[in-house]
């Protein structure tokens, strides 16, 4: 399951799902705690992928914690994007209920806390500090793990309880500020791989990187080994969060030019800036449901 702070629903493939080839399927008859609701639901994600099915209730286990009668989505159809993803079967949404398509009235984190299953209504997320840390991430329900961050956690308020949405004040590149006038909000999204900026801001960002290129085929590409040691600072909730430019470089884009790699920043005409994993792998993030705030502390390598 993909732990996704950018969506609110818990769903996974369930029989019958002819488009879910290669994925594990949930069999309702195998569960003694399953209760059908049979309300249809469908949702479309920002990348164009979509899923649909019916709703039900069942006990959901997260580590040693259990939430009975949790509303779940049983997916009977997924698009090719999900079907071809061999690393996950479904989505475990951690956003606020106002974003739910399956009819959730409260988050599973708040429900677990109310039932005494976890100590606090928070989730601490570590994605892995460096690119070779795949498989070493960790999520703690009900607390944080100090082994994965340094210093103090800095909290910023959520501006709207839908996504984990915070105010966005632009970016700073080695002391040179780049602001955007048409976007003043950002969402903290563990379910998005990249950091998504509006076109004018993305263009300004890449203009500061010698050798950066844009094409309709590849999008933004940057030198795999940038000639500058610039620091990119994102301003969220009035606080500054620096990221080394080198950490915004992804995998090589083409064997035709091995010197170029995909950028960790992409552009899109979105009403919200999306702070995805290329940013979040630099910070241990904490999602505090009780106080409606997001915390960040530098991740340990």
Question: Where is the domain boundary, 93, 114, 135?
Answer: 114
Residues 34-63: tens digit of each pLDDT? 999 999 999 998 888 999 999 999 999 999
Residues contacting residue 301 through CB under 8 Å, at least 6 positions apart = 129, 130
pLDDT of 228 above 90: no
Quick one: pLDDT band at residue 181, thresholds 50, 70, 90? low
Same domain, 93 and 185: no
- Is 293 among the domain residues? no
Q: How far lies 247's CA from each of 92, 190, 250, 251, 272, in Å? A: 26, 16, 8, 11, 22
Residue 147 annotated in active site: no
* Among 9, 58, 89, 189, the one annotated catalytic: 189
The pLDDT of residue 179 is: 67
Same domain, 103 and 162: no
Quick one: pLDDT band at residue 178, thresholds 50, 70, 90? confident
Quote the pTM value. Answer: 0.94
Same domain, 190 and 104: no
- Is 99 among the domain residues? yes
Stretch 262-271: mean pLDDT: 91
Question: Where is the domain boundary, 66, 96, 114?
Answer: 114
Same domain, 279 and 155: yes
Residue 4 annotated in active site: yes
The domain of 190 spans: 151-283
Same domain, 164 and 74: no
Residues contacting residue 136 through CB under 8 Å, at least 6 positions apart = 128
CATH number for the domain harbouring residue 28:
2.40.70.10
- State both tokens at 147: 């082994």
- Is 27 among the domain residues? yes
Same domain, 11 and 64: yes
The pLDDT of residue 251 is: 80
Same domain, 188 and 246: yes
- Is 132 among the domain residues? no
pLDDT of 107 above 50: yes
- Is 18 among the domain residues? yes
Residues contacting residue 266 through CB under 8 Å, at least 6 positions apart = 194, 195, 196, 197, 202, 219, 220
- Is 276 among the domain residues? yes
The pLDDT of residue 58 is: 98
- Is 137 among the domain residues? no
Nearest to 206 by CA among 271, 144, 142, 261: 261
Same domain, 63 and 185: no
**pLDDT above 90 as % of the chain:** 72
Residues 123-136: tens digit of each pLDDT? 999 998 655 445 58
3-state SS, residue 154: strand
pLDDT of 182 above 70: no
Work out how many domains the chain is built from and give that number.
Answer: 2
Stretch 11-24: mean pLDDT: 94
Stretch 141-152: mean pLDDT: 96
Stretch 213-236: mean pLDDT: 88
* Among 4, 9, 89, 277, the one annotated catalytic: 4
Same domain, 173 and 273: yes
Same domain, 161 and 110: no
């Amino acid at each position: 399951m993909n732990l996704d702070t950018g969506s609110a629903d818990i769903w996974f493939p369930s029989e019958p799902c002819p488009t879910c080839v290669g994925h594990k399927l949930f069999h309702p008859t195998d569960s003694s705690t399953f209760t059908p609701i049979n309300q249809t639901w469908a949702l479309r994600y920002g990348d164009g992928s979509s899923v649909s099915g019916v709703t039900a209730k069942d006990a959901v286990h997260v580590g040693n914690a259990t939430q009975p009668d949790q509303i779940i989505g049983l997916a009977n159809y997924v698009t090719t994007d999900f079907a071809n993803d061999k690393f996950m079967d479904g989505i475990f949404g951690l956003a606020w209920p106002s974003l739910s398509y399956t009819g959730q009235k409260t988050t599973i984190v708040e429900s677990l806390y109310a039932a005494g299953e976890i100590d606090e209504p928070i989730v601490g997320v570590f994605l892995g500090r460096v690119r070779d840390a795949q498989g070493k991430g960790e999520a703690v329900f009900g607390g944080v793990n100090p082994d994965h961050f340094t210093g103090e956690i800095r909290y910023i308020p959520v501006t709207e309880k839908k996504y984990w949405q915070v105010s966005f004040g632009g970016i700073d590149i080695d002391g040179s500020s780049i602001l955007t006038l048409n976007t003043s909000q950002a969402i903290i999204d563990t379910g998005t791989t990249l950091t998504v900026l509006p076109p004018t801001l993305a263009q300004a960002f890449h203009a500061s990187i010698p050798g950066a290129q844009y094409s309709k085929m590849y999008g933004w590409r940057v030198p795999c080994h940038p000639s500058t040691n610039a620091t990119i600072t994102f301003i969220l909730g009035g606080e500054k969060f620096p990221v080394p430019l080198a950490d915004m470089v992804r995998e090589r884009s083409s064997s035709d030019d091995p010197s170029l790699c995909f950028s960790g920043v992409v552009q899109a005409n979105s009403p919200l800036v999306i702070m995805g994993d290329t940013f979040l792998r630099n910070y241990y993030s904490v999602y505090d449901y009780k106080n409606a705030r997001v915390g960040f502390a530098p991740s340990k390598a």
